[in-house]
Structure 1
């Protein structure tokens, strides 16, 4: 589970300084209440510590340098915090300045990942008892046997005011790296899951008595709950929503066990993008809007099609447009207007998906369409390769094609299993994989199609047989066939499993049989298509077979090229320039962008050139 998509422009040395600044800023925001009150020093030792920490913050911030002066905002906020502490400002002023400083640092921090699950609570408690209770006490109240001899005293994790101003990221950093000039040491002997489990556990102690509020939209992401403290998350919220924030801190397992609603993910990421844009972080806003589509809405497109295909197309166009808007538009009013419009459409889609349960027949149909749509392209490529080898009397090479598609099925299953249990594959990574795979397959198919077109006459075919019948295919060529078979099948398998997983989240356990039935029917149809193609393609005369297969391969190349460009556009690798008219022909890979249409026109131009050249040579 990736916590953030912030762009890291800081060097490793700078990132170390940034993390220390963030940690100290949060520490100051939490402990300043014991040092100063009403403009007077309450505890000289505490105030001295706050002053020393603010001096370290200033020193570290000043040492941050870059050619683009991107750290100037950090230095400004660090100076503001230092000045407030020097002038014995109020607790509210210090906490506000500390919060602003930490937020300005987030985009420079490296990506962190949560484990897919925390340790069982009993294991976490045992870990805390064995390693933390001597200082922090058996219940985390800061009253362990060694507490009285430590300066500063260990943290009381059950103190709600303190916990409200402490982020889980800060707690994780403290467990991982310790806190300089304090008795808190780094627990480097623990793995990441153990350290995250401890951070979530101690962060929950002050809120475990909070009851879960009812009828609250659950749109707080793991990134927000980890990077921001409850005080920051509660800004602008009503009492019920604030209670939900506290309940979530007290019950963090909800973040790991709850199913992700793709529409909620889309909504959350759009709102986060809107906030980033308002702060001038346009690139970050664009990244979040990309995630809104790829990690959210794309996963329910097939389901929504069963209700309202036009609504699906409308939302897709809005989200693609918002990506460009977040990156290029500086007027927040325009951005807010577009976000509001998109949220309204998403609410409509959510109501359709949640209030009207998909019927068994709709699930069966959706399951069938997914398998046929994704499986047919891969099947046609594999069948074309197999029949070409049979026609060229290269049956010895068939095993390489079989190795390719069988390996793709296995790899697709393993990849998905890994994504479910070990890592989280982002939507962007998925689209890059699919885009590159589709483009590579399109180019190879185009090449094979040109080669086959050159053999469409009996005379040319006989000459080819005469020259090559006694030659074995070279090993490089054989493994190239296996590679093409693998690429064609793997990208479709992975996408198919992804869509089926989304379909399962939108259905009840009792309806799984309908999805399985749709899948089984799809497999049966693909099997029949395979049998028909193999049987009758082999019986065709050589010249006619090559002519038909040539057109088929060019068509597949055309479709895959369009899908490749679309996938790379969704991953923000290829730009998006929309056509004046809206076209969405999924089966042909056609979308309303100049880049996609141009790439497909190039395929047509190459195809036309060789058709024209072949006719002139006859």
Structure 2
């Protein structure tokens, strides 16, 4: 059969290795950034991934079942040794952990060991390589489902098909045939990180080209999308708690085992939820923070057992895979605590380097304390109360304006205008429901995009509010107000102004509905497993607002006309300022 993956190590590779090797010896007191994509360290990990998944096609029961496949595996491990020699030419023989780990892989392959043994050896060597060269195994931002769909349609669909099953005319003409992501055995061997590496390097000898020209975030989005295609249409059940870092590096069977061990009732459906939905949504802050704290605890155990190098590696993993992806969100909420965490991570690595046991324990304790305060500060202790406050506050803002509009047109004797006001706010309710569905199911809108949409709505609403409040104030200031009412009742509410009233009513309620959608999604995300409390609080908040709106409407109708318009205009100005500030 054709070779599906070949590597050639030359002078350029050795030079790249020297750069990477030098990076490994930087001062651990600073947080070492991940090396650029496409280097030999990443190639080494990609080879180990291939051997781990494809070796089973060559050997079963310690017997070679495919000579060509077995020869391919032997070449892979030889390539891996060459890469290690180029990356760390000064390694002290077999005493180097990475050299030893790759040597175990070669020994197992040449001994025709069982596939499970080879997979275990590959996994250990891969973990050593990732830690040794500080390879990034997790995206720096939540993958964009919308962007992934676009990229897949542009670059992948002709060969892999819309469903990912590779049943296309172009695929039928290719040898070897493109991979089908719907094939259970192949899907079970994939992780987003492996797909990401394949996108980075391509597969020589096949039609799979390198997509290194795409940005890392685009490649990560495509990688997660491939796993999504493999499970599309399967029944899902969420929420499921697993960090994006764990989703990125684990295969489906590994995730299912982890979910089963944590007591998840239906691991397979939870796995589908993770692959098809959760991977493209902003994760709860508490999940990433808990992963960070677990990494720190494991690092402290390693240090106290005399494995300082391993402890430093675990601290780096805790930062890069747990805290760093969450950093922009936390900085926006609590910049001081976020900066403190970064400083404490640096101090902890310095203490580890110096072997100062007292400083290590004290710094780790301080980190735990700050991380705990960040977690508690962004997870409502009482979801029902939080939901009540959200819905009560947002609905009151809309009810104030709608109530003022209704009372105003009634005082003017224009009962026919009432239905325009009602039509406006009633139309906003299904629009809010549609916004929820679009943001969570179709568009997979990222936080920045949602904020932009809310800002546009807020600014449009503010402009309309200022216009209406100016119209009211101008009438209050006029000494001919009584004459205006007597002579111009019909003219004051023309068809154009009636449409304006309906539009204003719609914008006032829809803006609050859209904002409530965002707040509710965030609250559900931050309190997994407690949706009943959230929706109970929401219902109580809406009921309280309904009672308040009825009372407000009856009270405002009894106000004198002049003071009523003065107060209403001031209220509208205040709301407009609020809208503009939110935008």
Q: Does the 8 Å contact 2:191/2:227 carry over to 1?
A: no
1:375 Cα deviation from its structure 2 partner: 0.7
In the other structure, the counterpart of 1:289 is 327
1:416 Cα deviation from its structure 2 partner: 1.8
Output one character per residue of 1:545-590: Cα deviation in whole Å (capped at 9) or x when no partner: 222213322343454455x1xxx7xxxxxxxxxxxxxxxxxxxxxx
In the alignment, is residue 321 of structure 1 matched against residue 336 of structure 2? Answer: yes
Q: Does the 8 Å contact 1:445/1:557 carry over to 2?
A: yes
In the alignment, is residue 266 of structure 1 matched against residue 285 of structure 2? Answer: yes
Query: What secondary structure is seen at the aligned counterpart in 2 of 1:111?
Result: coil
- Tell me how many residue pairs correspond in the alignment: 424
Equivalent in 399, 415, 429 of residue 379 of structure 1: 399
Q: Distance in 1 between matches of 2:246 and 2:528?
A: 24
In the other structure, the counterpart of 1:531 is 553
Of structures 1 and 2, the one with the larger relative CO (CA 8 A, separation 6+) is 2
1:403 Cα deviation from its structure 2 partner: 3.8
Q: Does the 8 Å contact 1:454/1:460 carry over to 2?
A: no
Q: Distance in 2 between matches of 1:411 and 1:22?
A: 50
Equivalent in 266, 269, 277 of residue 253 of structure 1: 269
Query: What secondary structure is seen at the aligned counterpart in 1 of 2:205?
Result: coil
Q: Distance in 2 between matches of 1:443 and 1:336?
A: 52
1:513 Cα deviation from its structure 2 partner: 9.7
CA gap of 1:292–1:351, structure 2 versus 1, over 3 A, is closer
Q: Once superposed, what is the RMSD of the aligned Cα atoms? A: 6.5
Q: Does the 8 Å contact 2:394/2:516 carry over to 1?
A: yes
CA gap of 1:470–1:105, structure 2 versus 1, over 3 A, is same
Query: What secondary structure is seen at the aligned counterpart in 1 of 2:475?
Result: coil
Query: What secondary structure is seen at the aligned counterpart in 2 of 1:456?
Result: helix
Q: Does the 8 Å contact 1:397/1:478 carry over to 2?
A: yes
Q: Does the 8 Å contact 1:391/1:542 carry over to 2?
A: yes
Unaligned runs of 5+ in 1: 1-16, 36-41, 59-76, 116-126, 132-148, 202-217, 235-239, 295-316, 569-618
Query: What secondary structure is seen at the aligned counterpart in 2 of 1:455?
Result: helix
In the other structure, the counterpart of 1:583 is none
In the other structure, the counterpart of 1:227 is 248
In the other structure, the counterpart of 1:343 is 371
Q: Does the 8 Å contact 1:367/1:515 carry over to 2?
A: yes
Q: Distance in 2 between matches of 1:366 and 1:105?
A: 36
In the alignment, is residue 405 of structure 1 matched against residue 433 of structure 2? Answer: no
Q: Distance in 2 between matches of 1:485 and 1:169?
A: 49
Q: Does the 8 Å contact 1:439/1:560 carry over to 2?
A: yes
Q: Does the 8 Å contact 1:456/1:542 carry over to 2?
A: no
Q: Does the 8 Å contact 2:47/2:80 carry over to 1?
A: yes
Q: Distance in 1 between matches of 2:484 and 2:341?
A: 57
In the other structure, the counterpart of 1:551 is 570
In the alignment, is residue 167 of structure 1 matched against residue 187 of structure 2? Answer: no
In the other structure, the counterpart of 2:87 is 80
Give matches, 1:16-415, under 5 Å: 26-31=45-50, 46=73, 80=87, 91-92=101-102, 95=126, 96-97=128-129, 103-104=135-136, 111-113=143-145, 167-171=191-195, 179-182=203-206, 195-196=226-227, 220-221=242-243, 223-229=244-250, 251=267, 253-257=269-273, 265-270=284-289, 288-291=326-329, 319-322=334-337, 331=346, 340-345=368-373, 353=381, 363=384, 369-389=389-409, 400-415=420-435
Output one character per residue of 1:149-186: Cα deviation in whole Å (capped at 9) or x when no partner: 999x9999989xx96xx634425886999844259899
In the alignment, is residue 521 of structure 1 matched against residue 521 of structure 2? Answer: no
In the other structure, the counterpart of 2:28 is none
Q: Distance in 2 between matches of 1:109 and 1:453?
A: 48
Q: Does the 8 Å contact 2:192/2:247 carry over to 1?
A: yes
1:409 Cα deviation from its structure 2 partner: 0.7
Unaligned runs of 5+ in 2: 1-35, 59-68, 104-124, 149-162, 168-174, 211-221, 233-239, 296-313, 349-361
Give matches, 1:446-465, under 5 Å: 446-457=466-477, 459-461=479-481
1:378 Cα deviation from its structure 2 partner: 0.6
